[in-house]
Amino acid sequence: MEKRIIDSHAHIGDIFHENKNITFKTNIKKGDYEDPFIDCERSGYTKPLFPKKVEDLINAGQYRSWEWTLENLAKELDERDDVKGIVMLPIWPNQTFEEYLAASLLEPRIIPFTTCVFDMPLEDMCGKLRTDIKRGAKGLKLHPTIQNVALDDPRTEAAVKVFYEAGLPVLTHCGANPYYTEDSPWSKVTTPAYSDFPKVIDFCHKWPDVKIIVAHCCTIAELLYENVKDLHNVYTDTSMCSADNMRLGVRLIGEDKILFGTDVPFGSFHYSIAELDKAFADHPDIMDMVGYSNIASLIGI
């Protein structure tokens, strides 16, 4: 069986609002900075990500996003013949669906999701989301922390209804982690608690008929399973996930509910796909489900 992969969790450009207009820049090279992500990657995602100085991790994430241009993404994709598609997740207010749609026209492997423009009037926001779907958006990305909008906010709920009606998935960040150093102005206007695990679980139970992708939770597969085992609408991705955790996720949550994802630029194709290979080398049918067909079915391609 040919190995085929759709990365279900990826970003391009600066999701953190610190430096706009990154996506289409050219000739951006990797800088020299302290990067805690590297040790985690090289360990097969078995080493804890958080260093003694959380500021090092925050800064490294920012630098990685500044380097992750469309040009650099295309170069990495061109080095592989197994990555057939990559789901790009914009986060308003720094990024828009239009930016990612334009990127997909230049790089056909990009599959754009859309994002809520929360400062629009509610009816206009929902109208825009419907238009985005007509233009090719394959799902909705929510990031309660960075967007500073709770999952039970009426604007979020209105957006979820749009995607329920369209039969398309909603992907939400999960994890109350910080994204900004104390001196960043964005640290004052974001709310990590909005993405706390119990709030995401409440969201899943409130919308049992919506296809919900809970990001990053194959790393805590047992905890997720215990909290959603009575539901049939919850999926998760393998971002920052070891082979052992991928296998555990398949065993507990289901081979049809686990989606391969890298969270590039914070994860990587090289190390993430190596863990996918390690996890399911002896089970090519499961590798194809996790790596490709589960997300392809969800987004209708």
pLDDT tens string 154-201:
999 999 999 999 999 999 999 998 899 888 898 889 999 999 999 999
Sheet with 212-214, edge to edge strand ranges: 114-115, 140-142, 170-172, 212-214, 234-237, 258-259
pLDDT at 127 over 90: yes
48 band by pLDDT with thresholds 50, 70 and 90: confident
Specify the pLDDT at position 67. 94
Are the C-beta atoms of residues 84 and 109 closer than 8 Å to each other? yes
Residue type, 287: M
Per-residue pLDDT at 54 exceeds 90: no
Quote the CA–CA distance of 200 and 53 in Å, as a whole number: 27
Residue boundaries of the structural domains of the chain: 5-15+32-299
For 5-15+32-299, CATH gives: 3.20.20.140
Looking at residue 18, its pLDDT comes to: 67
**What's the pLDDT at 216?**
97
